[in-house]
Amino acid sequence: MLKEEKINNAPNNTVVEKNGTYCNVIHGDCRSELANFAGKVDLIVTSPPYADARRKHYDSVHPDKFAEWFLTFHESFYNALKPSGSLIINIKDKVVDGVRHRFVWHTIEALCERGWFSIDDYLWHKTNPMPGSWPTRLRDGWEYCFHLAKSKRPFFEPKAVEIPIGDWKHSRLRKLGENDLSRHNSVNASGFGRDISKWVGKETVLPSNVLSLALVGKNKGHPAVFPVELPAFFIKLLCPEDGFVVDPFGGSGSTGIAALALGRNSALIDNNALYYEQAVERLLHESLAQIPDSPERFPVQPKLYEP
């Protein structure tokens, strides 16, 4: 049962509750609003405005100025997170005059110089990239999801994102040879090895750091919606079950939908009044069906590395 509740009679602050889990939707600038969550957040998962890309829809920044602009958020993000907390930034460089501008790399480097640890780079592989043709490039089929953290060992629960091992195990694991029963180093001495026997009896394995997810087709009243499964993946991996999630560039509310479905309390912040209202509507009316854990989410089934 969903419940909408205005807190403190504030026109810019709505709490949507489902089965005892809540999402606090806030209209405001996240740099100031995050002060209310200092030290309480386990995971910030977000997609900031892309440089110059959406000028018609909301404020955007020139690629040359993007790193400097993003650093104005560094302190509020850092202070909001617990010491074990993580920050996921979904973003993609823009092409300027036919050349990829590297403002995204500069931004990540600048954040690391200010104390963030760069834990890993995930890729969102778009299974249905936008059509089009360009003189020197192909269709753009992926975006970054940078995993930054306040410590080198942030909260991490890989079991929560394991995927089915796949049908190939029936053929491959039934015929284990002598080399398969101990750690076997590659013939080219690359240092990589495998011990296939460790996979016997397993039903699930770790996914890779590439997430294959389709672009959102349906209009959610926002020009840059990411699929709910994207924040959902990181919430399962990086936020404890009783933890707190924030999306400081909340947009249409995708992160809030994911957090509610996964039983994590959350907050969404957006400085655009229309998006704030649309996010509340979406949280209230969109089905909060459980996030699918099906293998279709990862069309590429896990295969063993055979050196």
Ligand X SMILES: C[S@@+](CC[C@H](N)C(=O)[O-])C[C@H]1O[C@@H](n2cnc3c(N)ncnc32)[C@H](O)[C@@H]1O
Whole-number minimum distance, CB 26 to ligand X, in Å? 9
For every residue of 121-159, DSSP letters joined together read EEEEEESSPPP---SS-----EEEEEEEESSSS----GG
Among 24, 47, 107, 265, which residue sits at the site for ligand X (rule: CB under 6 A)?
A: 47
Binding mask 215-234 for ligand X (x = CB under 6 A): -------x-xxx--------
Question: What residue is closest to ligand X based on CB?
Answer: 251
| Residue among 196 and 291 whose Cβ is closer to ligand X | 291
| Residue among 89 and 196 whose Cβ is closer to ligand X | 89
Stretch that binds ligand X, among 119-127, 150-158, 263-271, 290-298 (CB under 6 A): 263-271
- Write the CB contacts of 142 (distance below 8 Å, at least 6 apart in sequence): 92, 123, 124, 125, 126
Q: Does residue 24 bind ligand X (CB under 6 A)? A: no
| Residue among 29 and 286 whose Cβ is closer to ligand X | 29
Stretch that binds ligand X, among 42-50, 76-84, 166-174, 177-185 (CB under 6 A): 42-50
| Residue among 165 and 269 whose Cβ is closer to ligand X | 269
Whole-number minimum distance, CB 225 to ligand X, in Å? 4
Q: Does residue 281 bind ligand X (CB under 6 A)? A: no
Among 24, 86, 254, 266, which residue sits at the site for ligand X (rule: CB under 6 A)?
A: 254
Which two structure tokens, joined as six digits, stand for 71? 């650093």
Among 15, 23, 25, 30, which residue sits at the site for ligand X (rule: CB under 6 A)?
A: 30
Contact 53, 63 (CB under 8 A): no
| Residue among 165 and 260 whose Cβ is closer to ligand X | 260
Interacting residues with ligand X between 48 and 107 (CB under 6 A): 48-49, 58-59
Q: Does residue 249 bind ligand X (CB under 6 A)? A: yes
Q: Does residue 256 bind ligand X (CB under 6 A)? A: no
| Residue among 227 and 243 whose Cβ is closer to ligand X | 227
| Residue among 165 and 252 whose Cβ is closer to ligand X | 252
Residue 90: what are its φ and ψ, rounded to 5°?
A: -90, 120
Number of residues that bind ligand X (CB under 6 A): 21
- Write the CB contacts of 105 (distance below 8 Å, at least 6 apart in sequence): 93
Q: Does residue 13 bind ligand X (CB under 6 A)? A: no
Whole-number minimum distance, CB 53 to ligand X, in Å? 9
Q: Does residue 269 bind ligand X (CB under 6 A)? A: yes
Q: Does residue 180 bind ligand X (CB under 6 A)? A: no
Contact residues for ligand X, defined by CB under 6 A: 29-30, 47-49, 58-59, 222, 224-226, 248-249, 251-252, 254, 269-272, 275
